[in-house]
Structure 1
Amino acid sequence: MPLVVLGSARQAGDTQHLVERVLADIPHTLVNLLDWPVAPYNYQNDYPSDDTFPQLAELMIGHQVLVFATPVYWYSMSGVMKQFFDRFTNLTDIHKQLGRQLAGKHAFLLAVGSDKELPEGFEVPFRRTVEYFKMTFSGTLYQSLKQPFPEETAHQFAQQLRDLR
């Protein structure tokens, strides 16, 4: 069952609608980062007691397939998703054992934006992070809000998810 990590600045927005449409018939676990407080990364590794990043890391370990879902904000991932990705640094030091357990997993990217195509370089932080942790980057689906919904591409994307469950 895929774990979907949704990082948008608003609840029930276009990105969540894309997740719901693409994964409509695929059982999955949805984590909305707005509901899971993740403190900003800091070099002292001093985090508030309500910081949920360790729990999110455990959730990622428990799923073979990860789907990162984000709107495109100013040609990049959302701020809440970036803050979450910055905390992956903890998976290389204080939570190194968890980080090592990401190896072999598959990661996908869902993105929504207003441009006709996904901005150049948008996938780079996702691909490189996934590669760093020895996971496989398995695909991206982008929905331009100014174009018709990519039915065939979405079907193929969903089929890849089904094949890996």
Structure 2
Amino acid sequence: MNRLFTLLTALLGAALLAGAPTSAHAQQVTKNAKVKVNIKKPLVITLVQDLEMGNIVLPTGPGSHTVTLAQDGTLTCPAALTCSGVVQPAAYNLTGSHKQSATIQAPDFDLVNAATGDAIRFYPDAPATVQLPNSGNRGVDFNVGGSITIPSTAEGAYEGTITIIADYE
């Protein structure tokens, strides 16, 4: 009986092993991807000269007048006004990575009369983009002009600060 039991146990074990799934590994697949990075020098803006719109004399009548200073330094002064004095656009120098393009932004801001608190809106005129020169070069210069609309009630010295924002394209 021992033999029969041993034989049945062996047959039963063999039957169970035959129907059991084997422990095969799942198929592994791989795919590679390239890793790219473009490392750039930081952009550095340096002020070369401040913007000056000179002296403006208003006419005696009511109304407002727009005075514009182009990036090239050309002042457009309406015939009703008298414009004189030092006139120059703001000038900046931008350095960064070799032959890269940078966008330039100059948000509008207020020129404020410190004595009265009155404000005149200044609308900067900056280049949309600048192309940085070869490495080893001192950077690229660019000018910023702008315009103001002067009400007939304005009088006194007005000042403000241009904010220039440069970023790689």
Query: Which TM bucket (shorter chain)?
Result: under 0.3
Higher strand share: 2
| TM-score, L = length of structure 2 | 0.21
| TM-score, L = length of structure 1 | 0.22
